[in-house]
Amino acid sequence: MTKPRVFVTRILPDRGLQKVLAQTDATVWQEELPPPRAVLLDWARQADGLLTLLTDKIDAELLDAAPHLKVVANFAVGFDNFDVPAATQRRVLMTNTPGVLTDTTADLAFTLLMACARRIVEGHTYAKNGHWRTWGPMLLMGQDIHGATLGVAGIGRIGLAMARRARGFGMRILYHDAFRSEVAEQELGAVAVSKAELLAQSDFVSLHVPLTPETYHYIDAAALRTMKPNAILINTARGPVVDTLALYEALKAQQIFAAGLDVTDPEPLPAEHPLYTLDNALVVPHIASASFETRSRMAEMAADNLLAGLAGQLPPNCLNPEALR
Ligand code: GLV
């Protein structure tokens, strides 16, 4: 029996990649940068399955070029790179990797929160550059974390995990979402508030909303103007949820205290971007789920989703079960 034809758009951790290689006729893109669109389209023409990253756009044009395609498995929980309705129309299954990266992502969000509050990178740079001459009474003063208020925008899996960490640090928790979270309220004493209240009252605002037309520039100049001067913004969601230019202006004018960003718009954020000139902007290159264990589990999950879809079964993490042929 011929094995299904599969394209994997980047080298992944072995735990998932070996499964795919063992059970399919797979080609793996070997380079660091994503395959160019023309390569992806060419692959799509031949593929029964694709294992993609969030940098690979899977839209109607690509799906129309792919007569044999049964399943596209994303190596990510976010899937704003997918046109799910277009795939459903064409009976192509789409999957993601929810759950396994929740705690690892929340760990990074909390790391950014602490690093910004206590000016960790600034302190390291200061010491390393030879500026540390004595103990300074007012040297690198930051914000307290304990007793402060965390505002969680989007109390899904990762937002809730972030709130749990905050609770452990004795923080008060506010959240804003379209839905009430009984767990957050009962377990953590979190209080549901409007977006305006969240922004006005929080010392830390952490973003955990998916990128949709409604959440594009969720934090814009007007939103930033309503935040506290000591406020710290954390974004581990998606870059375009924040208006980058407005954030730059707000940080430069010290209208808010700092921002910690795992995601940016554009992404990657080019080295010459003005945000890097600011001491109160901390940027890391979209690494929230990047622990050895979590990335291995994500690879395995994406492989299992892909293989199930290829076998005509419902993948464990299917975004559009109604597309099952
Ligand atoms: C990473 O951003 C993901 O969505 O998994």
* pLDDT per position as a tens digit, 24-42: 999 999 999 999 999 999 9
- Which pair of structure tokens corresponds to residue 220? 């814009």
Beta bridge partners of 52: 74
Q: Which atom of ligand 1 is nearest to the CA of 238?
A: 2
What mean pLDDT value characterizes the chain? 98
Buried b (16+ CB within 10 A) or exposed e, 20-59: beebbebeebeeeebbeeeebeebbeebbbbbbbbebebe
CA distance 56 to 33: 11
Catalytic residue among 122, 167, 267, 273: 267
- Which pair of structure tokens corresponds to residue 239? 């870059």
**Ligand 1 mean position to 287 CA, how many Å?**
9
Helix runs in the chain, H state only: 14-23, 37-46, 60-64, 84-89, 102-117, 120-128, 157-168, 182-188, 195-201, 221-225, 244-252, 292-310
pLDDT in tens, 221-260: 999 999 999 999 999 999 999 999 999 999 999 999 999 9
**Ligand 1 mean position to 130 CA, how many Å?**
38
Q: What pLDDT score does 1 carry?
A: 78
Tell me the mean pLDDT in the region 204-212. Answer: 98
Residue to mutate, 289, 301, 305, ligand 1, most ligand atoms under 8 Å from C-beta: 289
Q: What pLDDT score does 72 carry?
A: 98
**Ligand 1 mean position to 212 CA, how many Å?**
14
Work out the number of other CB atoms within 10 angstroms of the CB of residue 168. 10
238 is catalytic: yes
- Statement: residue 325 has pLDDT above 90: no
Q: Is 78 in the pocket of ligand 1 (CB under 6 A)?
A: yes
Query: Is the distance from CB of 175 to CB of 149 less than 8 angstroms?
Result: no
Secondary element (H or E) of residue 233: strand 232-235
pLDDT in tens, 155-194: 999 999 999 999 999 999 999 999 999 999 999 999 999 9
Work out the number of other CB atoms within 10 angstroms of the CB of residue 125. 12
Please name the amino acid found at residue 148.
A
Catalytic residue among 10, 119, 176, 286: 286
pLDDT in tens, 258-316: 999 999 999 999 999 999 999 999 999 999 999 999 999 999 999 999 999 999 999 99
Name the residue with the closest Cα to ligand 1, atom 4. 78
Structural domains in the chain plus CATH codes: 5-99+292-323 (3.40.50.720), 102-283 (3.40.50.720)
pTM of the model: 0.96
Query: Is the distance from CB of 66 to CB of 47 less than 8 angstroms?
Result: yes
Percent of the chain at pLDDT above 90? 99
CA distance 196 to 174: 12
CA distance 304 to 98: 13
Q: Is 323 in the pocket of ligand 1 (CB under 6 A)?
A: no
CA distance 61 to 70: 16
